[in-house]
């Protein structure tokens, strides 16, 4: 066979092979990407769904299932945030919100980690949650369910519940912070005067900061570091606790 004839035979075979490879490659990467995206976005919806969602309206009425005795009843829709009833540590009345001004006596969501996302969507559409009047899209429910099912991080091993001190590699955390966060938040964590110094938030509520490092800040450009793993987030958090608190 002459070279150019050989090429004619080889090229179609090669083209088919390439085609198969690219179909396989693109479908698998797309599935991974959309799952990672969905879980982190679900985390931001858990934080403040009416800010993260582009269609949802901010509720103007008090949440009917937020306890009358709770401090945030009807307070700027705070009583509609998932975290307000279920906690930044996802453990509700068994976690950091067992007492104090955020106490509601409501259970956490940890029991649904690993659950079928469809079962979580059913809970979100139940009588208690009554969110249907506010214009959430089906994708919002899906993302919330993906977060509840696959996105919850257990922090008991590195956040001490009594002292709130974080165990992590402070030096590694410093490098991460200075290369990933400092452009927006400043080397001292005080650049943005709309929010308290990061050193203060990290000491007051390490669970909240961990949630935001992993999932990002609702409807803001802040990145979600979920893909880098929990130990990286714990190192950053440990370093944040050393930053100035005022």
User: What is the rounded CA–CA span in Å between residue 138 and residue 56?
Assistant: 11
DSSP string, 43-57: HHHHHHHHHH-SSPP
Q: Is 209 in the site for ligand HEC (CB under 6 A)?
A: yes
One of 17, 30, 61, 195 touching ligand HEC (CB under 6 A): 195
Asked if residue 109 binds ligand HEC (CB under 6 A), the reply is yes
**Contact of 164 with 219, CB cutoff 8 Å:** no
DSSP annotation of 159: B
Rounded CA-CA distance 62/5 in Å is: 77
Helices (H), 53-152: 82-86, 117-124, 138-146
Binders of ligand HEC in range 24-63 (CB under 6 A): 46, 49, 63
Is the Cβ–Cβ distance between 102 and 81 less than 8 Å?
no
- At closest approach, how far in Å is the CB of 209 from ligand HEC? 4
88 binds ligand HEC (CB under 6 A): no
* Cβ distance to ligand HEC smaller for residue 64 or 162: 64
* Shortest spacing between CB 15 and ligand HEC, in angstroms: 42
Asked whether the CA dihedral 103, 105, 106, 110 is positive or negative, the reply is: positive
Among 130, 142, 196, 228, binds ligand HEC (CB under 6 A): 196
Angstrom distance (rounded) from CA 112 to CA 120: 7
Question: Footprint of ligand HEC on residues 155-184 (CB under 6 A)?
Answer: 180-181, 183-184
241 binds ligand HEC (CB under 6 A): no
Which among 3-11, 23-31, 32-40, 124-132 is the span making contact with ligand HEC, rule CB under 6 A? 124-132
Residue 90, both tokens: 């996802």
Alpha carbons 29 and 36: distance in angstroms, whole number: 11
8 A C-beta contact, residue 199 and residue 189: yes
190: tokens are 């005080």
Q: Which is nearer to ligand HEC, 31 or 195 (CB)?
A: 195
Q: Is 148 in the site for ligand HEC (CB under 6 A)?
A: yes
**Closer to ligand HEC by Cβ: residue 161 or 205:** 205
Residues that bind ligand HEC (CB under 6 A): 46, 49, 63, 65-66, 79-80, 82, 84-86, 106-107, 109, 111-112, 120, 123-124, 126, 128-129, 144, 148, 180-181, 183-185, 192, 194-196, 198, 201, 209, 212-213, 217, 220-223, 225, 236
């Amino acid at each position: 066979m002459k070279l150019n004839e050989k090429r004619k035979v080889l090229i179609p075979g090669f083209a088919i092979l390439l085609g198969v490879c690219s179909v396989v490659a693109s479908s698998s990467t797309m599935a991974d990407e959309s799952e990672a995206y969905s879980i982190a976005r679900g985390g931001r919806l858990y934080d403040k769904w009416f800010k993260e969602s582009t269609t949802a309206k901010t509720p103007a009425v008090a949440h009917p299932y937020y306890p009358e005795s709770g401090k945030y009843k009807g307070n700027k829709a705070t009583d509609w945030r998932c975290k307000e009833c279920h906690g930044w540590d996802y453990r509700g009345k068994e976690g950091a919100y067992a007492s104090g001004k955020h106490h509601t006596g409501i259970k956490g969501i940890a029991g649904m980690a690993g659950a079928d996302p469809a079962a979580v969507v059913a809970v979100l559409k139940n009588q208690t949650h009554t969110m249907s009047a506010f214009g959430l899209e089906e994708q919002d429910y899906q993302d919330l369910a993906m977060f509840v099912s696959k996105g919850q991080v257990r922090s008991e091993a590195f956040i001490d519940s009594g002292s709130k001190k974080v165990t992590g590699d402070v030096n590694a955390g410093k490098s991460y912070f200075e290369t990933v966060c400092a452009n927006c938040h400043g080397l001292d964590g005080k650049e943005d005067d709309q929010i308290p110094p990061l050193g203060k938030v990290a000491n007051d509520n390490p669970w909240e900061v961990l949630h935001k490092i992993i999932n990002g800040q609702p409807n803001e450009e802040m990145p979600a570091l979920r893909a880098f793993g929990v130990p990286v987030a714990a190192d950053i958090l440990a370093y944040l606790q050393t930053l100035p608190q005022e």
